[in-house]
Amino acid sequence: MEGGRLVVAVDGPAGSGKSSVSREAALRLGMRYIDSGAIYRAITHYLLGRFGSLEKGKSYAEFLDGLKIDQRFEPDGSVRTSVNGLDVSRAIRDEAIARGIGAVSDDPSVRNFVNELLRSWSARESLIMDGRDIGTVVFPDATVKIYLDASVEVRSIRRVAEYREMGKTVDVNEIRNQIIRRDQEDTARPFGRLQKAEGSFYIDTSSMEKDEVIERMIGLIAKADGPRVRDGRPE
Ligand code: DC
């Protein structure tokens, strides 16, 4: 990995396991992990706090002015996201955020704001970033692009387990419906929709153990000798 920064773009649908495997791969490789979904969640949290409910099709551009969002990747592998200095890492995992996020992540002005923020964070270090449009829009010249997938059933079960770990009881059917709805939203939005980036490695994790996925990712990253990236453009 000498000779420049590595940018690893990991995209895939909700519950495909992107964040847990990306985080672990980053820890093992000594890279920074960036959770782009957490940024959309943090903005949703902020706007919900301001307005109570959010409208699809509305532009939230004027409310992003001066908004300060930060994210830290801690040595223990946890990610801390803050809005205007307030740590929202736990609050953004609430189901209410998942319900309201479509109006925010469909807004092109929000997407531009987030994309600029993500690119500004990655100017200096090697990183693994996950999301929906990282390999297509944020870093089209990423060194390695990975598309992680899994069946709706498997993803629903994983999400329920995640909520349980946080001490929350949720209904599997409700989570399944939410995943189906988010797949529709994620693949249909006019800007930054979820799609397999050109040149990406496709991994179906439905019947894979977490560690197997991590090993596969690390193998792909270790072999990579594609273009190094500066500010979203090849050096
Ligand atoms: O990865 P996640 O489930 O925490 O992401 C939350 C939402 O944010 C997801 O429904 C779609 C949106 N998102 C996006 O539009 N673009 C990204 N790069 C990451 C997330």
Identify the CATH assignment for 1-31+126-223 out of 3.40.190.10, 3.90.1300.10, 3.30.70.20, 3.40.50.300: 3.40.50.300
Task: Say whether pLDDT at 233 is over 80.
Answer: no
Q: Which long-range contacts (CB under 8 A, 24 or more apart) does 48-57 make?
A: 48/96, 48/97, 48/100, 53/100, 54/100, 54/103, 54/104, 55/103, 56/102, 56/103, 56/106, 57/103, 57/106
Which residues is 8 bridged to in the sheet? 128, 144
Sequence letter at residue 54? L
The per-residue pLDDT for range 68-106, each reduced to its tens digit, is 999 999 999 999 999 999 999 999 998 899 888 989 999
Q: Which of 105, 136, 187 to mutate to test the pocket of ligand 1 (most atoms within 8 A of CB)?
A: 105
Task: Say whether pLDDT at 231 is over 80.
Answer: no
| Radius of gyration of the chain from its Cα atoms, rounded to whole angstroms | 17
Residues of the chain with CATH 3.40.50.300: 1-31+126-223, 35-124
For residues 59 and 7, what is the distance between their CA atoms, to the nearest angstrom?
Answer: 30
| Residue having the nearest C-alpha atom to atom 10 of ligand 1 | 182
Q: 131 CB under 6 A from ligand 1?
A: yes
Grade residue 129 by pLDDT with cuts at 50, 70 and 90. Answer: very high
The per-residue pLDDT for range 135-145, each reduced to its tens digit, is 999 999 999 99
Q: 133 CB under 6 A from ligand 1?
A: yes
Task: Say whether pLDDT at 234 is over 90.
Answer: no
Architecture of the structural domain at 35-124:
3-Layer(aba) Sandwich (3.40)
Grade residue 225 by pLDDT with cuts at 50, 70 and 90. Answer: low
How far apart are the CA of 132 and the centre of ligand 1, in A? 6
| Residue having the nearest C-alpha atom to atom 5 of ligand 1 | 37
Q: Which of 22, 40, 69 to mutate to test the pocket of ligand 1 (most atoms within 8 A of CB)?
A: 40
